[in-house]
Structure formats: C-alpha cells, structure tokens
Structure 1
Amino acid sequence: MAVKNTLKQLLLLLLLSTSGAINAQELLAVGTSFSQIFEQKSNGEYSGLGVDILNRFAEQQKVVIHYQIAPWRRAQAMVERGQADILIGPYISEARQKVLAFSSLAFYRDEIVFYARTNNPTTWDGTYDNIHGLRIGKMQGWSYGYRFNERTKTLTINEFADLKSGIERLSRGDLDLLATNVRNTQAVLSQIKIPQAITPIMPVIDIQDGFMAFPKYQKFQPLQQHFDQFLQAMYDSGELAKLAKIRGVTIPSSALID
C-alpha cells in the first residue's frame, strides 16, 4: 500500500513539473506600431522595448517568436480568438480583461494628455465641464481610462484609425483637442510637417501602464505563467530598467533600479 502511495505521489509531482511547460516551439506576437515599444524598420527587422523583452524570453524558453504588425483592433482580435499568442503593449481595462489575460506586471508607462494648437489655448484644467462644446479627437480602440470614458459621453468626439490623421486634423483647426499619449505623438510629429504647431497641455488626463496580454484560454496559461516569472526576474535584476533607458521609455516606478 505504501509503495502504491509513493508511486502516486511521484506521478503527481511529475505531472505538476511538466504541466507548466510551453508546448509550442513557435509563437506569434502581434500588435500595432507603437513608438519605442513595437516597430518595424525599413529592413523588416522588428524593434522596441516589447521586442527586447520577448526576444530574451524566447531565448530562455528555447522557442521562436514571430512578429506581426496589424491594425490595433485586428491585433487584439487575433489574440482574443487564440490566432496569436501574445499581444504587445495593451493598456488594461475592465472590458479587455473580459477577453484577454494580462501579464501580472506592466513593462512601460504612458502619460495620456490633450494636445492643442499652440496658438489656440483652451480652458482645460482637468474639469471636463470646461471643454463642453469643443471638438475632441481620440484614437479608435485605445483605452483612455474609466473617468475619461464616462465624462466624455456627452462631448463631441471624433475617432481616428491612425494618429497621423488626428494630428493633422488638429493642426488644421478641424479639432480643438486631441487625446493621445506623449510617446506616440512626439514620434509622429518628428516625422511629418503640419500647418500649425501643437503641444501637450496639462494636467494629464490619466496615467496608463502597458502590458503583454495572452488569449484567455486554458492552454495558454502556462505561457502566461512562464512570462510572468520571467518579467518579474527582469524587474528584480534591474534589466528592464536598463533596457527601458536605452529605448527612452518610461516604466512603472516599481521597476526602477534603486
């Protein structure tokens, strides 16, 4: 009887030790073009902090990660359906948590702000009542936080599929304000010419952290668990902070080197 119990315990330990293994030899990571987070160079090479992290993760796990850039909504849908393994860089929200499994830690941080034309000051002081009647732009599929979503329900909102279009419309005077993040917006502004200068205005709308996300299916849980352990180790060692500094990306304060 004792022998049988011992065999059962050994079998259970074997199952537990192998249940968390990543079975796939190749993974697909998707996202849209996020400056300094996930980009594709002219030579086809992918770069950014998200790629830096995942390449190191792939090396540790002895898997190959393929990358694909797609429109943001399509990229999210691919991971929701299990057609891709990893979504690079989404902000967390209640709606997204229903369909995606987020990493336990974020790997970057953004300031969400309003941009306005430099020669057209507004009354924005953090009070949404003061911008009632203004023409406001935002990006399709982006998460702006619960407060922004609730307080702008009665405001005039124009949505844009790409940030360049929103910037150009704001600069031409077709919008009064554009809600966006500083990191992506400054990158686009450095690449295009616009009629009138635009600038971020304070106070910030919100602070949003960016995560990796995975399909919310049981078979993807080992992948998420392994990644969570890996990212925690990057936090603890200070490697994430070093990589972020090289890329010029802000990270959550808990990931900073003491």
Structure 2
Amino acid sequence: MLRQKTICSFSFAIFALFALLAGSVQAGQILAVGTEFANVFERTPNGEFTGLGADIIRVLARQNGDEVKFEIYPWARAQWMVEHEQAQILIGPYKTAEREAKYGFAKRAFYRDIMALYIRKGSDLSWDGNYASLPGPKLGVINGWVYGPQFESLRATIKPVIANTLTNGLNMLLAKRVDFLATNMRNTEATMKTLGISNELQMIEPFMDMQDGYLAYCKNTACEQLRLRYDEWYEQLRDGGALQLMARRLGVRLPP
C-alpha cells in the first residue's frame, strides 16, 4: 500500500511538472498586434517592427522571460484578434468604456495624442470649439478611431463622413470631399510628410481633445496575469528613466 501511494504521488508530481512546463511555454509566447501608428508601432521596408509600443513590449517581454512576435493588421482586425484571444496584446488603443468591456487595459498609458481638426491651406474655415457647430457632411473621421468623450457623445448627431484609413481621410480632404478632418497630430504630421502634402493642409485650433494610448490585453486568466506582470515591469522602466529616453528619441509625447 505504501509503495502504491509512493508511485501515485510520484506520478502526480510528474504530471504536475509537465502541466507547469506546458503552461509556462504557452504563457511565454506573446503575440502583439496593432495597425500603423507613426512612432508608436510601424514596420520598416526590411520587416523590422519599430516604434515606442514595440520597444516597450520588447523590454517587458525580455524582463519577464517571454518570446514576443509582432504583426500589423487593419485596425478593426487587430482589435478583433485581441478581443477573441487570437493575440495577447493590442498596441495603442485609447480607452473607452466600450473597449474596457473587451480588453484589460494596462495600469498606465504609454503615450498621449493631441486630437485636432485639419483643413486645406488657404481655406477661411475655422472652428470655435463648439462640437455642436461641426458640420457633419463636411467633417471626416477615421474608421475605428475615438476622439474624446465630448465628440463621442455627439457623434450620432454630428454624423461625420467615415474614411477607412488616415491616408484616405487626407485624400478626401485634398479632393474637397470633406472640409474638416478630425485626426491626431502625431499620425497626421508623419503621414503628410510621407505623402508630400505638408504644404497643402494645416491644423487649426482649438484642439479637440487629448487622448492617451495604452497596451490592452485579451480578457482571459493568462492575459490578466500577463498584464499584472507587465504593469510591474513598466513601473520599473518608467521610474528608472529609460522610458523617457525611449520616448524622446522617437518624438512621442508621454502622459504626465
């Protein structure tokens, strides 16, 4: 009987060890996804993933002993993948109540965007900061983007024109299909430079809002444990000053 109990205990220990090892391998393989966000998450022509989001995740993964893989998709698909646990981390979403129901957001945001309106240079159009005065049929927004609580509360009333991508939105503005384009400065300035249209469009004040971007995690137990670990490593990265140096190098604004 004693020998039988010993064998059973040994077998259970071996099973538990294999289960632990299997869980560790699974937990250590991280897929982080997003779309092209200038200086936050991009892919170079030679296939390298760059940007503050990618750099931060690499550091957190290395500290945690994880292997990380990156992929860029259309924004709607990247969000769907994390919501449906096809990937562990979504890079860069702004936080909303609707998104908090789908994802586990990091404790701290890792970048801040200024949301603003752009018009064609030479136009005499202006905006007084009153959202109710925004002309819906002449206002373009980017599909899947959020612009702050004030705008979102009036979105259904404003009824803006939706562009599939930022590049599409800028082209719509140039082609006079819209007179205003709501976007963020970081992405827009970089994209206009790439397209060679910086001299044709301009930002106007007042700003619409400020939005903070996060790392967001899928909502299962493993992702929640990953989020908590990465939050701890992120605090060390921030408190040690390395985060500030990374952001300064890339020209990304950090939240206070």
Alignment of 1:97-246 (within 5 A): 97-132=100-135, 135-194=138-197, 197-246=200-249
Confirm or deny that 1:24 pairs with 2:23. Answer: no
Deviation of 1:81 (Å): 0.7
Q: CA deviation at 1:192?
A: 1.1
Instruction: Return the alpha-carbon distance in structure 2 between the equivalents of residues 187 and 175 of structure 1.
Output: 21
Aligned partner of 1:109: which letter? R
Q: Which has the larger radius of gyration?
A: 2
Distance in 1 between residues matched to 2:246 and 2:128, nearest whole Å? 35
Could you tell me whether the CA contact under 8 Å between 2:41 and 2:50 is conserved in 1? Answer: yes
Q: Residues 201 and 219 from structure 1, CA distance in 2 versus in 1: closer, same or farther, beyond 3 angstroms?
A: same
1:103-133 CA-to-partner distances (Å, cap 9, x unmatched) read 0000000000011112113231111233336
3-state DSSP class of the match of 2:195?
A: coil
Deviation beyond 4 Å, 4+ runs, structure 1: none
Q: Corresponding residue for 1:10?
A: none
Q: Unaligned stretches of 5+ in structure 2? A: 1-19
1:128-187 residue CA offsets vs partner (Å, 9 max, x unmatched): 233336510001111112210122322241111111110011012111100000000011
Q: CA deviation at 1:82?
A: 0.7
Matched residue SS, 2:107: coil
Choose between structure 1 and 2: higher helix proportion: 2
Task: Write the distance in 2 (CA, Å) between the matches of 1:212 and 1:219.
Answer: 16
- TM-score by length of structure 2 reads 0.87
Question: Equivalents in 2 of 1:158, 1:188: separation in Å?
Answer: 20
Identity %: 37
Q: Distance between the aligned counterparts of 1:224 and 1:100, measured in 2? A: 11
Report which stretch shifted further, 71-80 or 167-176: 167-176
- Shift of residue 23 of structure 1? 5.2
TM-score, normalised with respect to structure 1: 0.86
- Worse overlay, 61-70 or 155-164: 155-164
1: CA distance, partners of 2:114 / 2:89: 24
- Aligned Cα root-mean-square deviation (Å): 1.9
Work out the CA distance in 1 between the residues paired with 2:120 and 2:57: 38
Say which of 37, 52, 55 aligns to 1:52: 55
C-alpha offsets along residues 191-243 of structure 1, whole Å, 9 cap, x if unaligned? 11449711111111110000000011122111000011011111211111110
Q: Distance in 2 between matches of 1:193 and 1:66?
A: 32
Equivalence for 1:85: 88
State the number of aligned residues: 235
Match among 37, 41, 44 for residue 44 of structure 2: 41
Report the residue type matching 2:154 in the other structure.
R
